[in-house]
Amino acid sequence: MTSIKKTKIAVLPGDGIGPEVTEQAKKVMNAVAERFDCYFEYCYADVGAVAIDHFNDPLPDITLEACLNAEAILFGAIGDPKYDNDPKAKVRPEQGLLRLRKELGLYANIRPVASYEKLLHLSPLREDRVKGVDLVIYRELTGGIYFGEKGTSADGKQAFDTCTYQVEEIQRIARLAFEQAMLRRGKLTLVDKANVMETSRLWRQTVKELANDYPKVKLDFMFVDNAAMQLIQNPAQFDVMLTSNMFGDILSDEASVLTGSMGLLPSASIGVHTSMFEPIHGSYPQAAGQDIANPMAAILSAAMLVESLGMTEAATAIRLAVQHILEKGIGTPELQPSVVYGCSQIGDLTAHLVAEPNEEILVREDKLQQKVSTII
Ligand code: IPM
Ligand code: MG
């Protein structure tokens, strides 16, 4: 009897629509297990507002432990409106996510953004501008102004946040970005504010030096204000974008709406310990429990997850299943599809197409097997 490989996955559904979209991603992972002869063992844990409700802590110790013991983390969403407009709140759901990133050393946040032919009309940009967009943002995730010294004066009249970076912090994410550029179109754009900020000048210098190790990559530099504009004016020019924590936070939200289908965008956070995979959309509390949320971003995050485990064929199978569904005009309401499906129906259909791909998908799988490039 052959033993089936077992992989431990920590599942952190979180808040709002997090649980329902994560459930669909899990269905698809189970379909992967069925077709590719492996086994995922899931360990559920609370994070965010739901963890505050249960433990008065957005990242309880048992959750962190579950993550450290797992080989990958499937994350839903975090955030609850009851904390958003209360600047005095002592505990916030977001603190759970920030601490998790720091504790696991997840220094690189990777967000691919690609347009889907069938959905070009949903973009806020003209179709000719968004056509062919295929970029990936490498955002530094455990340093910079998010984690620098911060405080408020005793009289409450002054506050400060500091941005600090060390050469090593820049080098380790920059290497990942260079390597990714080599697997893609060979272009890397460092986005910074080197005309004003000292930390940005350190980024430029460090990345320039590293470029000597990657002669095949064409490196260029762009100030962040210009990059924000270029993303709207000519987003197809970008291949890999590399940037610091705060700039990356802002630019990745901007990039996420370019294709008009934020509900389709996955992300990976990788670094020292267990990697984490999550849809880039938030907790969207207004839609929670209504079975209307788009689970495709969570499902495509599962594709990145299995890819990180070396299962590239499974990742391709998931991506092709999603693409197939979109091409057939099927989707959740916000995509204005010809055939409206609920969150859970999309999960069922994707899982079905992964476990038992139809002829059309099999032909594409065959073609792609020859030229698979991994994103992480
Ligand atoms: C993100 C989010 C987080 C961030 C929040 C929830 C703390 O916006 O993952 O981009 O700012 O990093
Ligand atoms: Mg953000």
pLDDT digit string (tens) for the chain, length 376 residues = 556 789 999 999 999 999 999 999 999 999 999 999 999 999 999 999 999 999 999 999 999 999 999 999 999 999 999 888 777 788 999 999 999 999 999 999 999 999 988 899 999 999 999 999 999 999 999 999 999 999 999 999 999 999 999 999 999 999 999 999 999 999 999 999 999 999 999 999 999 999 999 999 999 999 999 999 999 999 999 999 999 999 999 999 999 999 888 899 999 999 999 999 999 999 999 999 999 999 999 999 999 999 999 999 999 999 999 999 999 999 999 999 999 999 999 999 999 999 999 888 988 888 877 665 566 6
User: Is residue 266 domain-resident?
Assistant: no
| Domain co-membership, 316 together with 216 | no
| Domain co-membership, 126 together with 241 | yes
| Domain co-membership, 100 together with 117 | no
CA-nearest residue, atom 5 of ligand 1: 94
pLDDT of 174 reads 98
Our answer on whether the CB atom of 97 is closer than 6 Å to any ligand 1 atom is yes
Q: Which three-class secondary structure state does DSSP give residue 297? A: helix
Last residue of a domain, one of 260, 282, 306: 260
Our answer on whether the CB atom of 94 is closer than 6 Å to any ligand 1 atom is yes
Number of domains in the chain: 2
Q: Which CATH number is 164's domain given? A: 3.40.718.10
| Domain co-membership, 322 together with 240 | no
Helices (H), the chain: 18-36, 49-55, 61-69, 81-84, 93-104, 127-130, 167-183, 198-211, 224-233, 245-258, 296-308, 312-327, 343-355, 359-369
| Domain co-membership, 85 together with 165 | no
Last residue of a domain, one of 214, 238, 260: 260
The alpha carbon of 160 and the centre of ligand 1 are apart by a number of angstroms equal to: 19
Tell the burial category of 93 from Cβ atoms under 10 Å away from its Cβ (0-12, 13-18, 19+): buried
User: Is residue 359 domain-resident?
Assistant: yes
| Domain co-membership, 231 together with 136 | yes
Our answer on whether the CB atom of 265 is closer than 6 Å to any ligand 1 atom is no
pLDDT of 75 reads 98
Q: Which ligand 1 atom is the nearest neighbour of the CA of 93?
A: 6
Structural domain span for residue 139: 108-260
Our answer on whether the CB atom of 313 is closer than 6 Å to any ligand 1 atom is no
Q: Is 218 a catalytic residue?
A: no
pLDDT of 369 reads 74
- Of the bound ligands, which one is closest to the alpha carbon of residue 14? 1
CA-nearest residue, atom 12 of ligand 1: 249
Our answer on whether the CB atom of 34 is closer than 6 Å to any ligand 1 atom is no
The alpha carbon of 5 and the centre of ligand 2 are apart by a number of angstroms equal to: 35
pLDDT of 367 reads 83
Last residue of a domain, one of 230, 260, 290: 260
Q: Which ligand 1 atom is the nearest neighbour of the CA of 141?
A: 12
- Of the bound ligands, which one is closest to the alpha carbon of residue 98? 1
| Domain co-membership, 165 together with 239 | yes
| Domain co-membership, 140 together with 238 | yes
Distances (CA, A) of 197 to 5, 108, 163, 190, 241: 49, 21, 9, 14, 19
- Of the bound ligands, which one is closest to the alpha carbon of residue 140? 1
CA-nearest residue, atom 4 of ligand 1: 249
Our answer on whether the CB atom of 254 is closer than 6 Å to any ligand 1 atom is no
The reported pTM is 0.93
| Domain co-membership, 91 together with 139 | no
User: Is residue 123 domain-resident?
Assistant: yes
The alpha carbon of 244 and the centre of ligand 2 are apart by a number of angstroms equal to: 13
Q: Is 86 a catalytic residue?
A: no
| Domain co-membership, 117 together with 237 | yes
User: Is residue 37 domain-resident?
Assistant: yes
The alpha carbon of 146 and the centre of ligand 2 are apart by a number of angstroms equal to: 12
| Domain co-membership, 101 together with 123 | no
User: Is residue 376 domain-resident?
Assistant: yes
Q: Which ligand 1 atom is the nearest neighbour of the CA of 98?
A: 7
| Domain co-membership, 256 together with 295 | no
User: Is residue 265 domain-resident?
Assistant: no
pLDDT of 370 reads 65
